[in-house]
């Protein structure tokens, strides 16, 4: 995508071009994957549940009166949600390959859904953005600890998708942060949201982090780096900041 053109039509086309990627298959050697701790399967099952929702945000984008968005934005949002559902499929493959079980309920997933339901489109997109930051870092760290495998590649593919999602949400939020006051409000809400998201994920996924020997401070630092990147994309009219999150 051309970094100098962030029109919603471009985003719609960007997501549409990726929409017919094939369904995932995993042909990993079972004996190698057996060495992966069972806590990883549970952790991925929680993320799988979190990637499965998102229908209401499409409706909200379609019915929104925010003047900076249009039908192309709503369609891009629908394609984005479809991409998240593909992630749910990919993660379901990973969970099954690790002989784990998919789940239907989880307190962090419920918190995330409540956050998305309570609020208007702007705040909803901020919740989605926090999920992207969490996902980018978490999937990346997890994949780096897995043996060379198809599962590792699937997780890396999700990381690249999440980077594009981060950029998409930042483009929207930037259109909503023109004035100094709007930027200050964004910063306060964003930092509180991001802090809360990071804490609940650390609590809920502590077993997998421990079993994979991923230090909490490493995860935290990565989240903060990406959180600041997202901040810069929203509050600074900075093309270089956009380029720092490579979209392939």
Task: Outline where the chain has alpha helix (H).
Answer: 8-18, 30-33, 38-50, 55-63, 71-97, 107-118, 121-145, 150-175, 180-204, 206-211, 216-235, 239-244
Residue nearer to Fe ion on the CB measure, 19 or 32: 19
- Copy the structure tokens of residue 118: 């309570």
Residue nearer to Fe ion on the CB measure, 28 or 51: 51
What b/e sequence results for 210-230 when a residue is b if at least 16 CB atoms lie within 10 Å of its CB, and e otherwise? eebebeeeebeebbbebbebb
> Minimum distance between the CB of residue 196 and Fe ion, rounded to whole angstroms?
18
Residue nearer to Fe ion on the CB measure, 75 or 132: 132
Residue nearer to Fe ion on the CB measure, 88 or 235: 88
Binding site for Fe ion (CB under 5 A): 51, 84, 87, 132, 162, 165
d(CA 44, CA 76): 26
> Minimum distance between the CB of residue 50 and Fe ion, rounded to whole angstroms?
8
Burial class (CB in 10 A: 0-12, 13-18, 19+), 175: middle
> Minimum distance between the CB of residue 221 and Fe ion, rounded to whole angstroms?
21
Q: Within the chain, what is the greatest distance between any pair of CA atoms? A: 57
Residue nearer to Fe ion on the CB measure, 79 or 208: 79
Give long-range contacts, CB 8 A cutoff, 24+ apart: 68-71: 68/172, 68/175, 68/176, 69/8, 69/172, 69/175, 70/8
> Minimum distance between the CB of residue 135 and Fe ion, rounded to whole angstroms?
5
> Minimum distance between the CB of residue 103 and Fe ion, rounded to whole angstroms?
17
Contacts of 162 (CB under 8 A, 6+ apart): 132, 135, 136, 139
Residue nearer to Fe ion on the CB measure, 144 or 188: 144
> Minimum distance between the CB of residue 166 and Fe ion, rounded to whole angstroms?
8
Residue nearer to Fe ion on the CB measure, 28 or 162: 162
> Minimum distance between the CB of residue 223 and Fe ion, rounded to whole angstroms?
15
């Amino acid at each position: 995508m051309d970094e100098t053109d962030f029109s919603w039509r471009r985003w719609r086309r960007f997501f549409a071009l990726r929409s017919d990627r094939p369904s995932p298959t995993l042909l990993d050697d079972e004996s190698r994957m057996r060495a992966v701790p069972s806590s990883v399967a549970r952790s991925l099952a929680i993320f799988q549940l979190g990637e499965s929702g998102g229908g209401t945000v499409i409706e909200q984008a379609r019915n929104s009166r925010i003047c900076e968005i249009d039908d192309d934005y709503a369609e891009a949002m629908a394609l984005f949600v479809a991409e998240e559902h593909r992630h749910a499929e990919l993660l379901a493959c990973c969970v099954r390959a690790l002989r784990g079980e998919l789940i239907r309920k989880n307190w962090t997933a419920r918190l995330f859904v409540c956050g998305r339901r309570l609020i208007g489109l702007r705040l909803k997109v901020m919740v989605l953005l926090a999920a992207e930051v969490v996902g980018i870092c978490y999937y990346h760290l997890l994949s780096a600890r897995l043996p060379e495998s198809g599962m590792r590649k699937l997780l890396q593919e999700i990381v690249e998708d999440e980077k594009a999602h981060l950029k998409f949400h930042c483009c929207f939020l930037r259109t909503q942060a023109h004035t100094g006051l709007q930027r200050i409000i964004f910063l306060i809400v964003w930092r509180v949201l991001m802090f809360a998201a990071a804490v609940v994920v650390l609590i809920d996924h502590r077993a997998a982090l421990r079993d994979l020997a991923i230090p909490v401070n490493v995860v935290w630092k990565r989240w903060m780096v990406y959180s600041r990147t997202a901040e810069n994309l929203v509050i600074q009219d900075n093309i270089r900041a956009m380029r720092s999150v490579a979209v392939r």
